Structure 1
């Protein structure tokens, strides 16, 4: 255990996390006490403040970086091996850094969303005996929140596998070793997270939830294979039909619903199934999770273009690019240079073209539309509470 604590301390220092009770990522290392400070709606709340206040509402931090996970022997061993990849170009390092850099990221807050929605919906009378008095949620709902975090992270880790056999240039021996070793760690650690989450899901012993989350996993897997791809399986925009009406919205929504919206939506629905809520409430929870995930993705798609930095990498399937293709498909002449590998695309040129078109403003409208729909569901379906307010603050904090 002492060696594991040293690993945790090293990780926290390496990424400049505050290893004490004041940081939302690591508060369970200490005796976390629920604050009595009332959470109020604030249209100007920033992301970190919104997440910190939300964790106070549920009584404990829900981040994957909770030391309960970091001090686990398997996770600690992965952390040791990750140190060997520092300085390499393996995508697993980027994923690991994203776990520690939580600003405006949805990588570590999906479990928190599930718990907040659980508390906002409250419990039905027949389930009160199972309620966690401190958090105001069922023990099984807390388990589902942890499962949601584990599946999400496991999926992202698996996406970091590098198909280096298809790279269009010869790898140096040192780089080949890094890629091979990184792939092994990504495969094994992702398998561990997904395998453990499936086992915990089965232990909940709820057939409806198991079927629901199985469908969510199917959607996650399908998202990695739909649409055009380069040799590294990086996504490329679909060729628009002759009638391009609603091309951008339809393509983007389909891709991102499978890639993230379905999983968060079904997790939100699942937590209400566990509490015995009726089908109407379950469907409202599903719609809330879907719109929140899509609003989040639209916001992430905007980041490189709002930053006005043409050197910031971006996904060619992001909403601003998709909207520009609908507006002027001639941009595909540059994008299609990446059919073999997206490394052949001049992203600076694509950026300059998109920034001069309507894509950025239309993406802002898309993000605002999904954010507003999520808020409307909250206010019309769930009673006023600190949990509902915390969810509203999180939604308003992700917009530009």
Structure 2
């Protein structure tokens, strides 16, 4: 009798497991469908060749894709926290299912979701890859109670820090998708409901990622590292209060002083060190701290991450002006705009139309004005300068495959 009961128990457990696996399979398929739905919502000029058995971006620069692909091979695995163990978690499953309800609305959270999934130059998951590459390039000294990941040549704690970096950055971008709902802005009930629902998802999913990053960081039991990364989160928050803003907290250029010399670089650098450079720089600094390197070497890690992030941002700022699409809204505090304001502040008349909302700005007109000035060429030089500074710091590390991969990533950003 006991034997039959044991068999029955095994059968029940097997049946339950099969149901669980079936549900997981359905969820993964739904996530894949959602990815394709979001991809298909991308700009019409983007053609795809493969996703979910059908399509992927065909107009991406192969050099960038190759550089990232080769770098992932060096560290031994794809580095993104958006891995199977995260996609199969109940929390992410709920977020994915609720996010599908927003498809077709104008909530900014969808744009963030597309940026996460779309595998292009602006793919933020490459940040974790950079942290692991600098970890491997520097190597590690004798570290107590920390095992080395033999496949990647890095410490398990360094891989955890790479995931923490991505989660902090992603949670910040998700939180930035919150919409300031004011009376009369959304008169239609359906649109108001979409925006309210999107805000709830953005707030909860951003909090979930930030909470998990804090838990993983605390699990490393390194007080100095916790303090360092906490200051990076503080910098991200501070960046949202720098300069002028419209009612939706979209950035607007600050009014230049009478002596405009150095205005563009000073304002642009302040904004982007806080919003990007500090996080990547302190992550690179922190990963060297985990490996037991000296403070001097840690300072090199911070400089490398900061300059790489600034070069990356300058490259992204150039993208709308290189693509020749004047109708697409762009960041009004991007480097080409800031350089043009320093050259000719009269353009502020067009930009200040967006004091209530940046959507009121005639982007096509601003685009045409900027293309006639020195802003684009000066931004190219800015990107090149930060790339060169990152390369100079990189030369401190010994020759290795990881260092070469980082050099290739820098070179793939633009005309280095």
Instruction: Please list, as runs of the form range in 1=range in 2, the aligned pairs for 1:311-350 lying within 5 A after superposition.
Output: 311-350=327-366
Q: Pick the aligned partner of 2:385 from 336, 346, 369.
A: 369
Report how many residues are paired.
376
After superposition, the Cα gap between the structure-2 partners of 1:18 and 1:308, relative to the gap in structure 1 and judged at 3 Å, is closer
Give the structure-2-normalised TM-score.
0.87
Match of 1:394 in 2: 409
Instruction: Please list, as runs of the form range in 1=range in 2, the aligned pairs for 1:1-400 lying within 5 A after superposition.
Output: 1=20, 2-16=22-36, 18=51, 46-126=63-143, 130-165=147-182, 169-379=185-395, 381-400=396-415
The alpha carbon displacement at 1:108 in A equals 1.1
Q: Does structure 1 retain, via aligned residues, the 8 Å contact 2:105–2:191?
A: yes
Match of 1:37 in 2: none
5+ long unaligned stretches in structure 1:
24-43
After superposition, the Cα gap between the structure-2 partners of 1:389 and 1:127, relative to the gap in structure 1 and judged at 3 Å, is farther
Give the structure-1-normalised TM-score.
0.91
Q: Does structure 2 retain, via aligned residues, the 8 Å contact 1:45–1:393?
A: no
Cα RMSD for the two superposed structures: 1.7
Based on CA coordinates, which of the two structures has the bigger radius of gyration? 2
Deviates more, 1:91-100 or 1:119-128: 119-128
Q: Does structure 2 retain, via aligned residues, the 8 Å contact 1:62–1:112?
A: yes
5+ long unaligned stretches in structure 2:
1-19, 37-49
Distance 1:338 1:107 in 2: 28
Distance 1:250 1:97 in 2: 31
Distance 2:132 2:51 in 1: 24
Deviates more, 1:123-132 or 1:313-322: 123-132
Pick 1 or 2: higher relative contact order, CA cutoff 8 A, min separation 6. Answer: 1
Distance 2:242 2:332 in 1: 14
Q: Does structure 2 retain, via aligned residues, the 8 Å contact 1:65–1:99?
A: no
Distance 1:77 1:170 in 2: 27
Q: Does structure 1 retain, via aligned residues, the 8 Å contact 2:102–2:194?
A: yes
Q: Does structure 2 retain, via aligned residues, the 8 Å contact 1:144–1:201?
A: yes
